[in-house]
Structure 1
């Protein structure tokens, strides 16, 4: 059996010993549904520790209360949804000594050691914040109630906020911060003294370097003045040469413009002639394409009509054969259904007459049904008048015979519709209304799921 242990990304279960091969840590900040769907192939057990400590560890790591809170709520919802989809092969277990002692689990010693690790963690500011947050958020109350209904064993959610522990933790943190601040001030003073000494040494070194740089600048200035005169002479010669080049460029530009105008005139005439021929060619090609498309379309219509007729004949023949087979199967199923209903009715009659244990269990279940709003004795007697002459009270009659005969306990609950909609209820063999009262209503199932809601009439 694969065992998943819920943890946070700031681990609660840090240990030097490796976990057994069939154990796996499951951080609630990750995509739990994806991990479970990928890893679970057979039966599994999801073990979770104190949720307030999980939240405290996550807040301690991220420093963001809202983010950690939303992640934990989402993780609880993913675990509950996975359990509902896989309730036959999945078990939810709250990690405690009492549950491990009462239930049979492999590697119990390892789980017990993990409990000691989580219990040894001291209460601090983060746990105080986590517990306060969970108490203030109503959504946590709803999720925890739903998680409790899905879990096995005893569950204790410690959400009481110990104000004295919180104050002690805050004072301890304040004292630690004051000590750190004092150490930082002393260290900062030493650093400032060291920086001042280093700055004095660097200032003296920089003054020496500045004197050398000033000497080099004077030498460069003398060299620059010598080269400036030579540069001005060269610049004058370059200006004269540029003027001569500009005059030559003007003459070349005029000559190029004349040649370009002649070329443009010839190209324009050739382009107009080419354009006319191209237009005529395009028109002919378009006419040919239209004719070809019409021919293809006509051919496709003929082929499609032929294929449709052949498929219709084949489909009609297959439907006729399937209809005959379905009618035959339906008749056989009706015969079997009548026999099964009669056999179950007779068996329940024998059990009611001869088995005191059976009668006690039925009476206990009848008490549960009478307390439900979905079983109304007056409506049951009105819908099925033959039950008025029965020696059995209506709730007992429904449990022993009514549900087998597809009778409804009231106008709001449909027995046959309920087991047709929820196949897991049909597979379990439980009475449909008893399943709804104990489980279905808490799982969001409908008492009459096949009821068609007609739209409101238009004005």
Structure 2
């Protein structure tokens, strides 16, 4: 029964046992100190395939906050009990670990030291027990990779603010030691939880551009409000000056009327000139002062008109600037929409590539399982039962040669190195050709038959012999059938011309 150890999950889940499925059992360090009396797994091909599948997913799980010296010593002692003991060590990536600790209020320096110490202890344990320890890098919110021997947990997504994730990424980028340690862990790991770092960087850059555009919009709104206030102040000032000018004109008209009355009185009382001379002089002085005031009012009025014209000109200029900024804002919004569309397209391409990679990895793992099982059976038959093996080989060669799935002429034409040798083509295929993934005829694909039938891969059975004896009665497929689909309708030239540039750029960035 395999043992799976999860390191550092307490940072992202306070009680990691709650996310443990019912089919898996949690153990402690005290359990590992007792001798493991679990029965070994059955050999492949013994007819217990269904039982093996249940046993393989009934994992024993151990949660550790960190890999202390006591925990490391206990794990080493448990591994040394039996050479068949195996540990799958799932370590948490530095960014989610640091972000979760910072969100809990931990100090930055102590958090970085804690992850560095845990990573170094993990690397030391792996280097001392490479054959018994498998490393897997984990991340929150992602789908775990598919593993035949163990069922990995799906970690819950982060509940803290994205600001802590950005801070953790910045801290990792400024620490060369942590980057080097994380690189060593990733290189030593069999696989890691899938990530989309390029898509995340593009989303962060888009978010920054959006914040910058929002700041520019706020600045433009503040400028527009200030311009409106200045315009209102200028209009109020101009209105006050107009009222003052009207009052001055009324005063001038009144004084002119009074002056006319004085002149008429002067004509009538010319005889009394000496008596009213002082009064007349005073009136003349008053008139001069009023004339001076009138001139001053006219000057102020002209200045006010000039200021009004200048203010109106400035308002026109700022209104033009505001229109230009509004056009730029629309342009930024269109670019933002284009970036969002590109991000969605890249995410779709990434999902397709991920599915293709997982399928290829599964096929390669199945092929490697068959090669190991076949090699073990072949060596045992060669060195322990050589006579029986030669007799069996002749029987198998006769069975293969009599079948319609081995074409001797095609085999020699397809592989000229066999034609130049003296070995019989049927014997070469049974001994070496199947291990080299060679095909006996165009109607039988060796590697396809093995990768599409996991029971044959686990048993190490010769694929062509299995198909002749059992597979054809079970109607198993011998090669990949190519489906010829009709060609899609071509788009109009205008649409293809406009989309060619974007497709070329998208394919280059995807590579």
**What TM-score results when the alignment is normalised by the length of structure 2?**
0.29
**Which of structures 1 and 2 has the larger relative contact order (alpha carbons within 8 angstroms, sep 6+)?**
2
**What TM-score results when the alignment is normalised by the length of structure 1?**
0.32
